[in-house]
Amino acid sequence: MHGGRFLPFAHLIVVGLAATVLYACSDPSPGTLPAVDPLPESSWTEAWSSTIASSPNGGRLYVANPDSGSITAVDTTTEEVVWEMPVGSRPATVAADPHGKRVYSAVRDDNAVVVLDAHTGKYLGKVVTGHDPYGVVISVDGRTLFVSESASNSVAFFAADRLTPLGHLDVGPRPRGLAVSADGRSLYVTHFLTGDLTVVDLSSRAVRTVVKTGPENNAAQHVAINPDGGRAYLPHIRSRSTNPNLVFDTTLQPLVTVVDLENDRIITKELLGLDAVDQPVGMPSAVAFSPSGGTLYVVNASSNDISVVDLSKGFGTGHVEVGDNPKGIIVTADGRTAYVHNALSDDLSVIDLDALVERTRIPITTSPLPPDVLAGKILFHSSDRVELAKDQWISCASCHFEGGHDGRTWIFSEGPRNTTTIKGLSATAPFHWSGDRTDLFDFDLTVLERQFGTGPSEEENAQLAAFLGFEGVPPSPFPTTEATRRGRLIYESVGCANCHPGPAFTDGALHDVGTGDAPDEQFGPEFDTPTLLGLWDSAPYLHHGRAATLHNLFSGNHGEGHALADRINDNALDDLVAYLLSLPASD
């Protein structure tokens, strides 16, 4: 415990400052944007979403800076920044159109895709998407824009030239990474918390199949297609949450799954376990290929490195250290240079692929985060040092993806524990389901107990605490309606507010709600009252994760403390659930 220490937060500020002054003039009407001629079929090539994109001639790189809320263009000849332009709050990915004229970015918090002039960075327009757009990619003929809408469980289609909406397709939970086949017939969609790969037939705009990659797979936010067109490569982790004997090398596995695109199935014998073919690494997040397709370059976001794999032999041939939290990679057409986007050191690593060394770094933006918060965010996302993790396997972000959760219930010594988000922590002490973390300084114990690191220094622990207390809970995508207003009255009348009061929706106390009497529970029967903010994004529910939905939570099958199905009718229960899913309200 570390009681009595003061956490110096005057940091609860809005970081995306650039986003608040983004558009000095009204958006151009999509109809006023010039039309674009389709590319001839001879020019088609596979494409995929990424945090970094290249112009068609390779002369420029475009990078999405989520913390800065901007896109940066870099000249690959001079290796200097040409322009940096604000686009909104948390741009996730960027795509350069195959004509070389425009750049598109999915801006997550604004629910929009922003379009810039590729040469000047001038703002050209934007189009509203579903909630939490993540991946953006352009069809091989340059005519259609595809956007994964992570919180809407869909993919959107737009005319790439005038941003005209062409429809949405439901594809299942949390779509993230996108890739288009070179023949333009198929779109591949990763699912973040399952590792599944949905295959969309673009002629009919219908789901053709869903490729299951494994029951424990997780953190799949990228997919890329080998230049031979026959295989897709999907970097991800395996969250071994059902393993009762969790140690440093049995908790997670860093993997790249290989998918046969002709038959839409995984190739089990070609599965790449990066700890075996290279060395233990953390959070594989993106891949790229040599021009021939014979070499795979894997970006590892937690261990801050690149694994180099000879695909003909199935083993590693090199390893390159890069900057903080690498998230994307581009390999030049001659195969001699790679550019790696380091999301938290705000630069590009320039890698000599002949020598397999980092040749230089190119600064691309300046983080607006307070220095201690940025330092803490780097620590949170890193497994790169012995103080933080044993053999680079586990970072905080390995389970708390992007400060959120992994959708898993882990079997710990104290019993089953459903992963919770860190967003909004500053108002919800104590922490953990058992309330065994009194303040934000206590999470150095998690580094010791869960990541098997030797522990951060006192200064680093204060930085980690600064980051943990910094992020708020994002607004719910579920709007305020008559149903939510009725649900709020029901919430108050049935006594929910007794334990979930005030703006934080928690009383900060431990309660016995009838869920802690199982034989595998060692710390119960009382559990810390969780906040209700962000329930829309935190399923499953309860400490053991056995309530898959809020309706199931209130069914009476999970303790008397939440049994409402017999107290209110179905319509009232629907209204209550609608209200809870709308928290925190965006209006």
Q: What is the pLDDT of residue 31?
A: 53
Strand ordering across the sheet containing 80-86: 52-54, 60-65, 70-75, 80-86
How are the residues of the chain apportioned to helix, strand and coil, as percentages rounded to the nearest 5? 15, 30, 50
Q: What values do phi and psi take at 64, rounded to 5?
A: -90, 125
Whether residue 400 has pLDDT greater than 60: yes
Would the pLDDT of 42 be above 70? yes
Tell me the sheet residues that pair with 431: 437
Lowest mean pLDDT segment, chosen from 36-45, 205-214, 385-394, 542-551? 36-45
Local confidence band at 560 (pLDDT 50, 70, 90 cut-offs)? confident
Phi-psi region of 195 (alpha: psi -120 to 50; beta: other; left: phi over 0): left
DSSP string, 233-253: EEEEEEE-TT-SS--TTTSEE
Contact of 447 with 554, CB cutoff 8 Å:
no
What percent of the chain is predicted at pLDDT more than 70?
94
CATH superfamily of 17-39+46-363: YVTN repeat-like/Quinoprotein amine dehydrogenase (2.130.10.10)
Place of tokens 């940025």: 374
Stretch(es) of the chain classified as CATH 1.10.760.10: 371-468, 482-581
The dihedrals phi and psi of 269, each to the nearest 5 degrees, come to: -70, -15
Asked if residue 468 has pLDDT above 80, the reply is yes
Determine the average pLDDT of the residues in 141-150: 97
What is residue 30's predicted lDDT score, i.e. its pLDDT? 52
Residue whose token pair is 């994964």 = 148
> Which of 355-383 are b and which e, b meaning 16 or more Cβ less than 10 Å from the residue's Cβ?
eeebeebbebbebbbbebbbbbbbbbbbb
Q: Give the lowest-confidence range in 239-248, 287-296, 379-388.
A: 239-248
- Beta-carbon contacts of 567 under 8 Å, excluding residues fewer than 6 positions away, are 494
Give the distance, in angstroms, between the CA of residue 320 and the centroid of all CA atoms in the same chain: 24
Average pLDDT over residues 198-212: 98
pLDDT interval class at 41 (50, 70, 90): confident
The Cα–Cα gap between 384 and 382 comes to 5
Q: At 461, phi and psi to the nearest 5?
A: -65, -35
* Per-residue confidence band for 32, with pLDDT thresholds at 50, 70 and 90: low
Inter-residue contact 302 to 398 (CB < 8 Å)? yes
Per-residue pLDDT at 17: 37
Taking only the tens place, the pLDDT of each residue in 63-119 is 999 999 999 999 999 999 999 999 999 999 999 999 999 999 999 999 999 999 999
Q: 3-class DSSP state for residue 17?
A: helix
Mean pLDDT of the chain: 93
With beta carbons less than 8 A apart as the criterion, state whether 9 and 373 touch: no
Q: Average of pLDDT values for 319-338?
A: 98
Where do we find the tokens 């801050």? 304
For the cut 80, the answer to whether the pLDDT of residue 385 exceeds it is: yes
The confidence score (pLDDT) of residue 587 equals: 65
Residue pair 424/336 in contact by the 8 Å Cβ criterion: no
C-beta of residue 307 within 8 angstroms of C-beta of residue 280 = no
**CA nearest 132: which of 115, 166, 116, 155?**
155
The pLDDT score that the predictor gives to residue 8 is 37
Using alpha carbons, select from 402, 535, 416, 412 the residue that is nearest to residue 478. Answer: 535
Sequence-ordered strand ranges (E) for 12-51 = 47-48
Q: Which residue has the higher pLDDT, 132 or 17?
A: 132
Q: Can you read off the two tokens belonging to residue 446?
A: 């998690």
Q: Confidence class of residue 18 from pLDDT cuts 50, 70 and 90?
A: very low
Say yes or no: domain 482-581 is CATH 3.30.70.100. Answer: no
Residue 9 has pLDDT above 90, yes or no: no
Q: Kindly report, as residue ranges, where domains of CATH 2.130.10.10 are found in the chain.
A: 17-39+46-363
User: What tokens appear for 35 in the block?
Assistant: 């039309």
Task: Give the DSSP letter string of 368-429.
Answer: -S-HHHHHHHHHHH---STTT-GGG---GGGTSGGGS--S-EEEETTEEEE----TTGGGS-
5-40 CB burial, b ≥16 within 10 A, e <16: eeeeeebeeebbebbeebeeeebeebeebeebebbe
For 230-249, how does the pLDDT look when each residue is reduced to its tens digit (9 = 90+)?
A: 999 999 999 999 998 999 99
Query: Residue 259 has which token pair?
Result: 């998918």
Instruction: Report d(CA 303, CA 450) in Å as an integer.
Output: 16
Question: What are the C-alpha distances in Å from 557 to residues 53, 254, 493, 494, 561?
Answer: 49, 36, 22, 18, 10
CATH topology of domain 371-468: Cytochrome Bc1 Complex; Chain D, domain 2 (1.10.760)
Rounded mean pLDDT of 20-43? 62
Residue 371, pLDDT score: 98
Q: Tell me the pLDDT tens digit for each residue of 405-457.
A: 999 999 998 999 999 999 999 999 999 999 999 999 999 999 999 999 999 99
pLDDT for 40 equals 86
Percent of the chain residues topping a pLDDT of 90: 89
Determine the Cα–Cα distance for residues 544 and 534; give it in Å rounded to an integer: 18
Is pLDDT at 55 greater than 50 in this prediction? yes
Tokens of 409: 């219930």
Task: For residue 27, name the pLDDT band (cuts at 50, 70, 90).
Answer: low
